Copies of this chain bind each other. A is one copy, B any other.
């Protein structure tokens, strides 16, 4: 009798373990099958910020914007703005290596803007940045206004 109970308990425990392992495996498999969110809207908007002078970050940001524009889910539906402030002004300096990439983004419809407040704080003039760059009162204000309009705020 005792043996039977122990045996039953063993079987039950083993069954539960298998079920649990199965359930774990199911969750991992389900996650592997994940293919991303679906685009249900007609238009999407995102504002990217650059606030450091690190070329690694600046290049990553420019590449990120290109990738977002090319995402098959967003293709033709996406408006992007790029705003630089603090040391991120480095991306727009006339001697910086990003001119052609920035121009190409503007040709694709991306808004490219510099924080006017940063220029003031750094005692710089608009002449020191690329002629084709727009000016916003403050980069932070721009992020806040855009987020309030439903834009995604992304810091690469």
Q: Which residues of A does B touch, CB under 8 Å?
A: 24, 27-29, 31-39, 41, 44-46, 51, 60, 63-65, 67-68, 70-74, 78, 85-86, 103, 106-107, 111-113, 115, 117, 121, 131-156
Query: Given the complex, which residues of B lie within 8 Å of A35, measured CB to CB?
Result: 134-137
B149 and A37 form a contact (CB under 8 A): yes
The CA-CA distance from A73 to B131 in the complex, in Å, is: 24
Given contacts A32-B132, A60-B86, A155-B155, contact A74 B144 (CB under 8 A): yes
- In the assembled complex, the CB of A48 is this many whole angstroms from the nearest CB of chain B, namely 9
The CA-CA distance from A15 to B59 in the complex, in Å, is: 35
Query: Given the complex, which residues of B lie within 8 Å of A107, measured CB to CB?
Result: 24, 27
Query: Given the complex, which residues of B lie within 8 Å of A112, measured CB to CB?
Result: 31
A141 and B32 form a contact (CB under 8 A): no
15 CB < 8 A contacts A-B: A31-B112, A31-B133, A36-B113, A38-B145, A41-B148, A63-B121, A64-B85, A67-B85, A67-B140, A67-B141, A71-B138, A74-B144, A86-B156, A148-B150, A153-B153
B144 and A44 form a contact (CB under 8 A): yes
Query: Given the complex, which residues of B lie within 8 Å of A150, measured CB to CB?
Result: 148
Query: Given the complex, which residues of B lie within 8 Å of A141, measured CB to CB?
Result: 36, 67-68, 71, 73-74
Given contacts A71-B137, A132-B28, A137-B72, contact A46 B145 (CB under 8 A): no
